[in-house]
Structure 1
């Protein structure tokens, strides 16, 4: 889901399309909360973004004022009240998605609809919606994505979800329909709000045009990578070729320490740049999401314009290294080895574990060999001698330690 704390959304229910604000789960004072724009009497819905903005500008009371990020949301440009494409939820049309195959688009859209419908049900106490999700655990697999339905039993499970929705979704929709409370706003105030939205959109378009012109001029004078979103954000795509496969991930440095696209020591890796970019649009549970510059990357990702550019400095190849080590020091490309070891160290440093140091302490001959090959002053007086099979096997162990950190391989 979106990394924003408060999200404008468009909901399609039986009576039509409505707009409101959604605050997905957040933690406060040790407790988890979720909310929609409303008050003790229920949910506030509006027939247009302008009416919603006019209501918010009126200063009338609502529950989201107590949200820890409300002040930050209020300070955003007026056009931020308009839902993005991925924040449009056709709740009443969910069964149509299940009539098709479990494609990336169908599964992704259904997962988002399930997410917000469940949240709506819990916040508004819509009993049939709450019971529907609580009673059918297989619905939770939809958030796993299209890959979950690609296996031998995938179509069978997708069909089972379809039968469940076909049988009971009408009650879910009706229970949510009962919570509809459309808030009307004065036409004059609505028109003023629409003018603010239009002005913000014009300003945003002008700002984008100005930025594009500046970027074009900079591109003519600098490394194209420096003028890309990656160079601007200071977050780098990384390509790793190891054990005959190539994988892609992201990495940056914060105060000199590495931070990877991942969580809890697991580096999220993808076989193609396209799959990585698509994954980013639907997921924000990773260590990079908290960076101040992450929104720059997500702006392009959400617009479908994100291109994964790997700078040569961020390409790591382990191909042939173990075989060269076994032949002897003269056969080893020390630059390739140095870069490979850099990635070992970065991964261990980010994961905050002592696995790499522990391994080398337990294998002092390999530690001496690496010091000698990488030009460390600690290798003074040490000269490696044949056979080098143990060193080659130790290097393979280090590669395997790195591979085990990958989410996909």
Structure 2
């Protein structure tokens, strides 16, 4: 099971869009849990929806009276801003649009869209269902407050969505798509009515119904951050910092080293200014922090003799940087500023590379675990892998990522189409090579005291 995470999502129903948070299944004390931002301890379980990400973030900062308050990463979420709780395209669910999707001919996007929408619908019903259970009576065990949801999810055509477009190709596939449309026509209105009884369109009493935007008004933000060209003029004298990556929408525990996100934001200006960035690497042996820069577009790490030094805490890394031991960053023009600063080396999210989590996700998907997992899970870890392999001269890693290999093909797919679903057979093929890759990377890592 993947490490605990909390994901921002948007739901559109009755031409209004609300924002909330979903905690995908995680394991704690030997039990599996799943929850949405809401309350399930009253007569009717509800999921709180907010008219804007800003309103959602404000609620998270001030309230702990909800089902996610005890989630392992809630302290991180409580400190996030609106941009961090804005869902990406893959986590926006237009429940109103299901009729239109099934009315058209199936394509990959339609199938994936329906699969995702039905999946989140089932999860909402599961978390909000407070019908009594009786393990001694099979009939009672089937009782549910979401009868229409249960009936729809039991349709074999819905199960076929998990197989992708191939399940709806040919005469048999066309017939299955028609039957799926019939099931939607018969049941979807009742499904929405059942769900809406458990959706709180007041933002836990913080908003009015007319504040919620329509689907057209609630599209993802198109704001973009422009690079400062003036900073590039000093590239000949100082190492270049990589362009800022787009913020991720999945709120995870952020690696294995606990770091305050507010402190990260405060420290980022210094590290970007010197062009030497803190990095976290997580491998089976442990999690550690190091420093990385780029010289003539080639990665260079804090280390020597093709070995990367890792430290267990920002303070330990800072203490080493203040010392006089020679290493491969000593000759960098801005290193004296690093050696002299009191600013802790705190990595931003896009410079945290959790190679263990990828292995866990691949194992889950290979075992057939339900959930929304796509090729984007590989993008960021592979960036770190390539940088480490380049610096350490790991030819074996280059071979594992060569075009035509399973990992090479998956990497290319992740760059070309990161939203493409990661199928069970894909994950099963990648598990062995990924483990080999991580073992090879680990040979170049030295954990310093």
- What TM-score, normalized to structure 2? 0.47
Matched, 1:221 2:296: yes
Instruction: Indicate the structure with greater helix content.
Output: 1
Distance 1:312 1:181, change over 3 A: closer
Give a deviation string over 1:63-98, Cα, whole Å, max 9, x none.
101112212333444411111111110012212111
Contact 1:132 1:172 in 2 (8 A): no
Contact 1:129 1:176 in 2 (8 A): no
Aligned to 2:200: 181
Decide which of 374, 381, 389 is 1:294's aligned counterpart. Answer: 381
Distance in 1, Cα, partners of 2:170 & 2:400: 37
Aligned to 1:22: 22
Contact 2:107 2:165 in 1 (8 A): yes
Distance 1:16 1:261, change over 3 A: closer
Give a deviation string over 1:234-287, Cα, whole Å, max 9, x none.
9xxxxxxxxxxxxxxxxx9979xx979954997xxxxxxxxxxxxxx952599x
Matched, 1:6 2:6: yes
Q: What is the RMSD of the two structures over their aligned residues, measured on CA atoms? A: 4.8
Distance in 2, Cα, partners of 1:75 & 1:313: 39
Give a deviation string over 1:314-350, Cα, whole Å, max 9, x none.
43789xxxxxxxxxxxxxxxxxxxxxxxxxxx75975
Distance in 2, Cα, partners of 1:101 & 1:3: 37
Contact 2:12 2:95 in 1 (8 A): yes
Aligned to 1:44: 48
Q: Secondary structure at the match of 1:22?
A: strand
Distance in 2, Cα, partners of 1:23 & 1:210: 42
Distance in 2, Cα, partners of 1:175 & 1:219: 55
Decide which of 157, 160, 163 is 1:144's aligned counterpart. Answer: 163
- What TM-score, normalized to structure 1? 0.51
Name the stretch that deviates more: 116-125 or 24-33: 24-33
Distance in 1, Cα, partners of 2:86 & 2:434: 42
Distance 1:263 1:180, change over 3 A: closer
1:58-137, aligned counterparts within 5 Å?
Answer: 58-125=62-129, 126-137=145-156
Question: Computing the radius of gyration over CA atoms, which structure comes out larger, 1 or 2?
Answer: 1
Shift of 1:49: 1.6
Shift of 1:151: 4.3
Distance in 1, Cα, partners of 2:229 & 2:128: 43
Distance 1:146 1:254, change over 3 A: closer
Aligned to 1:205: 225
Distance in 2, Cα, partners of 1:128 & 1:58: 36
Give a deviation string over 1:133-186, Cα, whole Å, max 9, x none.
453233122122223223442111111111111111100011111112222427
Q: Secondary structure at the match of 2:183?
A: helix
Any unmatched runs of 5+ in structure 2? 130-144, 212-221, 233-239, 244-274, 276-292, 301-307, 309-352, 385-396, 406-431, 438-449
Distance in 1, Cα, partners of 2:107 & 2:119: 18
Distance in 1, Cα, partners of 2:30 & 2:231: 42
Distance 1:27 1:317, change over 3 A: closer
Distance in 2, Cα, partners of 1:81 & 1:265: 25
Contact 1:117 1:129 in 2 (8 A): no
Identify the structure with bigger relative contact order (alpha carbons < 8 Å, sequence gap 6+): 2
Distance 1:76 1:284, change over 3 A: farther
Distance 1:312 1:74, change over 3 A: same
Matched, 1:283 2:283: no
Distance in 2, Cα, partners of 1:130 & 1:317: 43
Shift of 1:4: 7.4
Shift of 1:109: 0.8
Q: Secondary structure at the match of 2:17?
A: strand
Contact 1:19 1:48 in 2 (8 A): yes
Q: Secondary structure at the match of 1:46?
A: coil
Distance in 2, Cα, partners of 1:221 & 1:316: 25
